[in-house]
Amino acid sequence: MNHTKKILILSALSATLGLQTAQATSTFSATSLVTVTIDNIINNTHAGDLSSISITGGFWLDDTLGDEGFGKTVTNQADSSYSHIGNWQDNTLVTGNSLSQSFSAIGSATDGKVNSNYFSFGDIYFANDSNDDYTIKYSINYLLATNVTGDFASSSISLSYFNDLGNIDGYEEATASTLLNTSSFNSSTNNPDPLLTSFSLDLGAFEEDIFYTDVTITGYAEAKANEIAPVPVPAAGWLMLSSLIFLRKYRISTT
Amino acid sequence: MRLTTLAIVLSSILTPLAHAHGPKTTSLKNAPLPALPAGLIDGTSPIIINQEKAILLGKALFWDMAVGSDGIACASCHFHAGADSRKTNQLNPGNKNPAPSGETFEATASGAQGGPNYTLKRSDFPFHQKENPFSGTSPTTFDSDDTTASSGTFSGDYNGAPRTGDINDECTRDPDTVFHVNGTGTRRVEPRNTPTVINAVFNHRNFWDGRANNTFNGSSIWGDRDKDAGVWVKVNSRKVKKQRLALINSSLASQALAPPLSDAEMGCRQRSFQELGRKLLLRRPLEHQNVHHQDSVLGALSFSTSGDLQPGINTTYATLIKQTFNKKYWSYRRRGSFGGRDGELPYTQMEANFSMFFGLALQMYESTLVSDDSPFDNATFDDRKLPTNLGDSIRRGAAAFEELHCNICHSGPVLTSNAIDTNAQLLEANSQAFGLNTDQSGVDGVAMNRNIVNYDNAKGSKFFDTGFTNTGVQHQNSDPGLGGLDDFNNPLSFSSQYAEYLAGTANAIVDTEAGIENTKSCNFQKYFASNRFIPPFITVTGFFRPADGIIADPNGNSNCYNAASEAFIPSSASAAAELENPNSPKMAFATQAAFKVPTLRNIELTGPYMHNGSMATLEEVLEFYARGGNFNNNFTHEFVAEMGQIAGKDPVLNATAIQKRADIVAFLKSLTDDRVKYEKAPFDHPELTIPNGHTGNASAVINGNPLDASLAIDNNLILDAVGANGRSTPLTSFAETLAP
């Protein structure tokens, strides 16, 4: 088991155990898995010559962007944290390669409130350094899930994907609220239209494009000490299950 | 010149407008709403993507007590036929009056002390009384600048708001210096009477002084006047930009943004819409108020069943916003661009744009509140457009309404000349929409050609804004009304802007979307500038002549009420010089103490009347008009003059006058829609608890309000949730609730 897998499992177990022992607790959890795959690269000018096309990129997370709202505010007994695992910047991609990230956050309040906002970025940079014309086919797969438990919690995890050329503009999210007694799961496999997740990029001479995949997690939890959170264990089990699902998916996509 | 020609010329000069009858009152059925602004629900990227959800969101926000800082909903002051029928703690000292009396409460006409927590009686009305109520020259026996309005918030200094549970904001609250009883704070009362929200969608501008701009900018009431206004639009997930928004015919949206931040109506001081958004977004709408399972809009999401009413609806405000609005206004998830409060995460895009969501949702809901099913709306009409099947009294009343020229201001199907767009649409579709003589009506000259500025109506020749009139209810200095200024010291009136525009003043037009510059002088009701032949022995002072310096009106002379010879305007120099003349006979204004002409629909249910709530009954209103108003001043409309037909000063005519007044009241009551009277859809509503004065009376109250011990304990009026089928008992008039 590599380091990444260990972290994911520990994260899931930690969240599960925390929920099991909580009493007057409101919690939120959210997790995502985003994978971008280069499906095919075609040189339309000189068949088979891929020497002048470069595809690089990765996922990154800059928690220093305080003025952009990355972080949390907490009062009393409440807190939140995040984890970000995956391919970081400056990876070089060829046909068949994928880049993936898992980005998760959890928060809880036992006597207080926590308001948090975390985001990660994904950039894939396509550059044609020749007079040839290229067609690049690529796709995005995503899983977004979030859950809340307790007296009052609300969470949202969203994925925005778009490109510099302006012909891609996608937005997906999953949301949960204890008021609505909902959890939410959203994935690209739910989307019946592959046109929304598979793309074809034509790059002419010395043209370039950037494909962005950004994930944001917002979570709010509030509880008072004398209030008992309802039914925490099934929720903990849900988080455990969803984490394991993501872990399996992550393993497949990076094989 | 032949004598007949001369007579015609003189006649046309001296009486350029013979107000024969004016526009007929017509049914509101099938009358068009003001045209929706482009891009609101249409186009490639509309702001609103689901109108049904928008109406649902608007209704929830309108009735939700959590919108206020201390339990006041929009509906708390618009719960009774769209208006406010409460009678306790409803007095304001008249604080629009800059005189000292504007800060102090007067004794009432009944001799009671009045003031905070006073319960109004029938004998307290009207607030201006004469020995002979039908005679303008009769000695005044009572006058007060106090107003009957609506009690709202205790207010205080805003500190924050919970995101769940308690609906009250966290404010530092102390007794108000004006609104208190023996030092114990009472709820504050706004300075003008609450008009009905029903049919308000037809108003070109809302609020009594018209400050709710016709153009909605997304973040304040001021339309294009507010240079910092705008909404945040997502470019992509890493870029957001602030854009100007200019949605015409959206005065309701503009209006909606004022009360939640007003420290007299709903909010603590320094509150903001971003904070209100943060307070509400994660909440379930109406979470502490029962929602009827048959509510025409909310019922499908209610938790209620027959015989078991439950609070709230099964969604959150954030969810509704996502379902209603284009995601470019809420899906940007980074922060930092929108500001925030110390110690808190910066606002989200959804919080930053909450003012736009709030305003437009309320506008969409309020646009459904159209009462077009009154007996008058369903009547048959003869060729004079008088009702033929409502009985003789109503028919006579409708005729008298016209004879007395009430219809000049209360015109068209909404019975207000403020319904500019609707009146214009009707006339454009059918030039005879308001009768055979509409070419001599105020509606035609104004609305048909979309003039929002007009000339004449007051004594002499003066500019006025279409839909706003000074009727002399109060002294002209008691409340400036349309003659006031906005937050940026610009005049509220279009007339002032137009005059300055003619004079060449830079940036004179601050309502840049209103079309003020499109005003056609040939549609003015009196000559403003003319090159027609006038015999040299006649001296003209009332309008501009070629010798003064006039130029052809760049807006042309097509489809005009007046002839091409009147399609002129003064040169900039001439207009500027005339503006410098404080006694100008050519460029004077009738905007001081002018107020929005209200609709008369459902008028029997929406008392007390006038902008200051100073009259309790329709009979008192008719007495007021019969005597030619309370304060006959230089700005009052020319038709507000003693009306002998209904005054009955002559004993011989008295019986006739009494009958005529009764006929007019009967006609006015034929404008009541039973769906309003019985709160049937679309006028049904959730449960609402409304502060209704305080325990005690005007001399003593009990402190210990849960909000702060220094504040008086509220009495509450509980309005039960009503479904689409309405209630079994009808709403009553304001006067019927008053003790003698």
Tell me the per-residue pLDDT of B444-468, one tens digit each, with 9 for 90 and over. 444 445 588 888 766 778 999 999 9
Whether residue A222 and residue B164 make contact (CB cut-off 8 A), yes or no, is: yes
Structure tokens at A13: 């177990």
Q: Which residues of B439-451 are buried (b: 16+ CB within 10 A; e: fewer)?
A: ebbbbbbbbbbbb
* Total domains in the fold of chain A: 1
pLDDT at B18 over 60: no
Average pLDDT over chain B reads: 92
pLDDT at B563 over 70: yes
Q: Does B315 touch chain A if contact means CB atoms closer than 8 Å? A: yes
CA distance B461 to B445: 16
Instruction: Classify strands B588-589 and B462-465 as parallel, antiparallel or unpaired.
Output: parallel
Distance of CA B170 to the CA centre of its chain: 31
Distance between B364 CA and the closest CA of chain A, angstroms: 25
Position with higher pLDDT, A83 vs B438: A83
Chosen for mutation from B319, B345, B351 (greatest number of chain A CBs closer than 10 Å) is B345
Which residues of chain B are within 8 Å of residue A28 when distances are taken between CB atoms?
Answer: none
Backbone angles phi, psi at A40, to 5 degrees: -165, 145
Confidence of residue A14 (pLDDT cuts 50, 70, 90): very low
pLDDT at B638 over 90: no
Q: Does B335 touch chain A if contact means CB atoms closer than 8 Å? A: yes
Confidence of residue A48 (pLDDT cuts 50, 70, 90): very high
Instruction: Provide the pLDDT for residue A66.
Output: 58
B581-594 per-position pLDDT tens digit? 988 889 999 999 99
Chosen for mutation from A179, A186, A215 (greatest number of chain B CBs closer than 10 Å) is A179
Could you tell me if A246 and A14 are in contact, meaning their C-beta atoms sit under 8 angstroms apart? no
Contacts of A60 (CB under 8 A, 6+ apart): A88, A89, A120, A121, A122, A123
CA distance A166 to B196: 47
CB count, 10 Å around CB of B115? 22
Contacts of A73 (CB under 8 A, 6+ apart): A114, A115, A116, B343, B344, B345
Whether residue A180 and residue B327 make contact (CB cut-off 8 A), yes or no, is: no
Q: Is B187 helix (H, G, I), strand (E, B) or coil?
A: coil
Chosen for mutation from A117, A209, A210 (greatest number of chain B CBs closer than 10 Å) is A117
Position with higher pLDDT, B459 vs B410: B410
Distance between A150 CA and the closest CA of chain B, angstroms: 13
Residue of B nearest to A163 (CA): B236
Which of A69, A73, A154 is the closest to B282 by Cβ? Answer: A154
- Of the spans A231-235, B69-73, B419-423, which averages the highest pLDDT? B69-73
- Sheet strands side by side (includes B462-465): B453-455, B462-465, B588-589
- Mean of pLDDT values over B623-651: 85
CA distance B169 to A136: 55
Identify each DSSP E strand in B12-70 by its residue range. Answer: none
Among A55-64, A188-197, B245-254, B549-558, whose mean pLDDT is lowest? A188-197
Which of B282, B284, B327 is the closest to A220 by Cβ? Answer: B282
Query: Which stretch of DSSP H or E encloses residue A77?
Result: strand A71-86
Residue of B nearest to A213 (CA): B237
Distance between B556 CA and the closest CA of chain A, angstroms: 45
Residue of A nearest to B315 (CA): A180
- Mean of pLDDT values over A214-220: 95
- Of the spans A171-185, A235-249, B575-589, B671-685, which averages the highest pLDDT? B671-685
B93-131 per-position pLDDT tens digit? 999 999 999 999 999 999 999 999 999 999 999 999 999
Distance between A170 CA and the closest CA of chain B, angstroms: 10
Could you tell me if B620 and B630 are in contact, meaning their C-beta atoms sit under 8 angstroms apart? no
Please give the radius of gyration of chain B, using alpha carbons only, rounded to the nearest integer: 26
Confidence of residue A68 (pLDDT cuts 50, 70, 90): low
List the one residue out of B354, B588, B576, B553 whose CA is nearest residue B460.
Answer: B588
Instruction: Provide the pLDDT for residue B412.
Output: 92
Whether residue A218 and residue B348 make contact (CB cut-off 8 A), yes or no, is: yes
Give the CA distances from residue B36 to residues A175, B39, B357, B400, B447, in Å, rounded to whole numbers and listed in that order.
33, 9, 16, 35, 17
Backbone angles phi, psi at A109, to 5 degrees: -140, 130
Structure tokens at B66: 């959590």
Could you tell me if B618 and B496 are in contact, meaning their C-beta atoms sit under 8 angstroms apart? no
Confidence of residue A79 (pLDDT cuts 50, 70, 90): very high
Q: Does B236 touch chain A if contact means CB atoms closer than 8 Å? A: yes
Which residues of chain A are within 8 Å of residue B164 when distances are taken between CB atoms?
Answer: 152, 222
CA distance B614 to B627: 16
Instruction: Provide the pLDDT for residue B605.
Output: 98
Which of A73, A119, A179 is the closest to B334 by Cβ? Answer: A119
For chain A, how many residues are written? 255
Domain of A86 in residue numbering reads as 3-17+26-253
Instruction: Provide the pLDDT for residue A90.
Output: 81
- Mean of pLDDT values over B707-715: 98
ipTM for the predicted complex comes to 0.83
Contacts of B207 (CB under 8 A, 6+ apart): B255, B258, B596
Give the CA distances from residue B273 to residues A10, B108, B134, B161, B219, in Å, rounded to whole numbers and listed in that order.
42, 38, 48, 12, 8
CA distance A17 to B363: 49
Whether residue B345 and residue A115 make contact (CB cut-off 8 A), yes or no, is: yes
Instruction: Provide the pLDDT for residue A230.
Output: 45
Whether residue B236 and residue A116 make contact (CB cut-off 8 A), yes or no, is: no
- Mean of pLDDT values over B287-295: 98
pTM: 0.92
For chain A, which residues lie within 8 Å of any Cβ of chain B, measuring from their own Cβ?
Answer: 65, 67-69, 71-73, 113, 115-117, 119, 121, 152, 154, 158, 160, 162, 169, 171, 173, 175, 177, 179-180, 212, 214, 216, 218, 220, 222
Instruction: Provide the pLDDT for residue B688.
Output: 98
Instruction: Provide the pLDDT for residue A251.
Output: 38
Give percent of chain B above pLDDT 70.
Answer: 94
pLDDT at B2 over 50: no
List the one residue out of B477, B480, B502 whose CA is nearest residue B491.
Answer: B480
